[in-house]
Chains A and B, each alone.
Chain A
Amino acid sequence: AQSVTQPDIHITVSEGASLELRCNYSYGATPYLFWYVQSPGQGLQLLLKYFSGDTLVQGIKGFEAEFKRSQSSFNLRKPSVHWSDAAEYFCAEQGAQKLVFGQGTRLTINP
């Protein structure tokens, strides 16, 4: 069955430090992959997406993600986090019928 795995449930980083959130997908030779951010009590906002082409995709708010087919991964990165980046982050993959989400990674920022 199609699945998206985010191995880290909770990550804490210091403000200004770099960030990498991991995501592994399981479906399709040509996956459609997404990263979303959710602030508490809010809906989801799309950070970036990958359909094809350049494996390094740029998103909003200074985020980027790299698609690595050999590792079935689509990790999200940011060189320097800000306190406002504290939120829940979801990786997702478009399946044949529906969007499948990972379990989410909660990001906490230390001042």
Chain B
Amino acid sequence: GAVVSQHPSWVICKSGTSVKIECRSLDFQATTMFWYRQFPKQSLMLMATSNEGSKATYEQGVEKDKFLINHASLTLSTLTVTSAHPEDSSFYICSAKNWDLGGELFFGEGSRLTVL
């Protein structure tokens, strides 16, 4: 099967620091990955579409200078939350599109960020 792994699963940081979350496709190449944010007891909200070798496409209302996305290789996309504040605390989930399986999306396990 296709596996997507996120790291770290949990991260706690102080307000004002930056945090990087990694999303890796372990057994397939993913030219397109997606980053979502999920608030408690709510649905997933798409933040941005990450395309290998090009700039990410951000959804309306998402600050691209706040949430930096880099997709430098076919198996890795990173989300960096810059100058994090408590309101950035959330569950962040990535997904990767597997074209070997018809473009089906595979989701990572999620990363919970807590900003103190």
Contacts and interface: CB of A to CB of B under 8 A. Distances in A.
Interface of A: 36, 41-46, 49, 90, 97-99, 101-104, 106
Interface string B32-69: 00100000011110100100000000000000000000
Given A44-B107, A46-B105, A98-B49, 9 more contacts: A36-B107, A41-B112, A43-B4, A43-B6, A44-B95, A90-B43, A97-B49, A98-B34, A106-B41
Interface in B85-105: 91, 93, 95, 104-105
Contacts of B93: 43-44
A42 B46 CA distance: 17
Given A43-B93, A44-B93, A101 B108 contact: no
- Lowest 8 CB-CB distances: which A-B pairs, in order? A43-B107, A44-B107, A43-B109, A101-B43, A43-B110, A103-B43, A101-B44, A104-B43
A41 B110 contact: yes
Contact of A90 (B6, B34, B44, B112): B44
B48 to A, nearest CB: 10
Question: Quick one: which of A36, A41, A44, A46 has the most chain B CB within 10 A?
Answer: A44
B110 A99 contact: no
Contacts of B109: 42-43
Contacts of A102: 43
A22 to B, nearest CB: 15
A36 B36 CA distance: 15
A97 B34 CA distance: 11
A46 B2 CA distance: 12
A70 B38 CA distance: 32
